[in-house]
Amino acid sequence: MIDDTLKAGGRDPLLDAALGPAMLHQTTHGSQNGPETLRIYRPRPTLGFSGRDAASPGIAKAVAAARSMGFDPVRRGPGGRAAAYHQGALCLDHVGGDDPGPQQIRSRFLGFGELLTGALRKVGVNAELGPVPGEYCPGEFSVNDGHGHKLIGTAQRLVRGGWLFGTVILVTDPEPVRHVLTKVYDALGLDWEPSTVGAIETTVPGITVDDIKSAVLEAYAGLGQVIRGDLTNEVLELATIRIGRHRLPI
């Protein structure tokens, strides 16, 4: 487990976007039988666009809208539609090396979704696993508060011999996310319901990102031994070399 929340002020959003895929590359081109790797971090304000978003006629306007509201636009690895997150969120990059077949894809969504749902229930959230009608970056395995608010989004990126499971947990301050996504989704021509943006603090006042980090790590510890480590120089160098892949050409 790599605790990147200790990085003061967070990393550059482009480097954050590049690190997960770099970890995945190292897993699939190195020791494929090694342990899974979990990186946990707090992001700077970021607007993560998918490849599908990048091909949209409205992408230039969407990127400009994100920047105007203080969110750095990046092209993220996993994910289906645009998602926004900031320092009040906790993000996870979970990488493993095995056959990413169709059955395993669904099993991971379900298994990690249930794990995250359980972690939120332990801190007092009536969390449920399932889609929220009208949510941003819609998915079958979103985690919601049981009252129509999305709290956690998950996504996967698959390559030969490995997978990257990305998670964004919005803990505090949902308003900036709601506002920037309203402008971005309008630019992309996507229908959604802004009221579906939720944060854990709405249900559990006073809760912090560190509280959620502790709950998530406790849940992961139930899967097996968690060994703490650091990002390797090789991963950091590879992510830096490939950072251009995550810039939007605008």
User: What is the pLDDT at residue 165?
Assistant: 96
Distance between CA 68 and CA 77 in Å, rounded? Answer: 23
- Does pLDDT of 31 surpass 90? no
User: What is the pLDDT at residue 32?
Assistant: 47
**C-alpha closest to that of 47 among 9, 8, 17:** 17
User: What is the pLDDT at residue 35?
Assistant: 77
Where is average pLDDT lowest: 52-66, 100-114, 144-158? 100-114
Beta bridge partners of 107: none
**Do 151 and 161 contact (CB within 8 A), yes or no?**
no
- Does pLDDT of 203 surpass 80? yes
Q: If you ran DSSP here, which 8-state letter would residue 44 be given?
A: P
Average pLDDT over residues 17-41: 87
pTM: 0.96
One-letter identity of residue 95: V
Distance between CA 213 and CA 219 in Å, rounded? Answer: 10
Average pLDDT over residues 214-226: 94
Distance between CA 79 and CA 137 in Å, rounded? Answer: 8
User: What is the pLDDT at residue 30?
Assistant: 72
Torsion region of 146: left, alpha or beta (phi above 0 gives left; psi -120 to 50 gives alpha):
left
Give residue 104's pLDDT band: very low, low, confident or very high (50, 70, 90). Answer: confident
pLDDT digits 0-9 by tens, 32-67: 456 799 999 999 999 999 999 999 999 999 999 999
Give residue 100's pLDDT band: very low, low, confident or very high (50, 70, 90). Answer: low
- Does pLDDT of 87 surpass 50? yes
Of the chain, the end-to-end C-alpha distance in Å amounts to 35
- Does pLDDT of 178 surpass 60? yes
Which H or E run includes 1? none
DSSP string, 195-245: GGB--HHHHSTT--HHHHHHHHHHHHHTTS----B---HHHHHHHHHTGGG
Contacts by 66-69, CB closer than 8 A, 24 or more apart: 66/180, 66/183, 66/184, 68/183, 69/176, 69/179, 69/180, 69/183
Share of the chain above pLDDT 70, in %: 97
Structure tokens at 106: 């669904």
Average pLDDT over residues 200-225: 96
Assign 69 to helix, strand or coil.
coil
Pairing of strands 128-129, 89-96: unpaired
Where is average pLDDT lowest: 4-18, 101-115, 131-145, 235-249? 101-115
Mean pLDDT of the chain: 94
Give residue 101's pLDDT band: very low, low, confident or very high (50, 70, 90). Answer: low
Give the CATH fold of the 2-246 domain.
BirA Bifunctional Protein; domain 2 (3.30.930)
Give residue 79's pLDDT band: very low, low, confident or very high (50, 70, 90). Answer: confident
140: Cα within 13 Å, side-chain hemisphere: 8
* CB contact set of 210 (below 8 Å; sequence gap of 6+): 5
Residue spans per domain, the chain: 2-246
Q: State the Cα torsion 144-150-151-154 to the nearest 10°.
A: 90
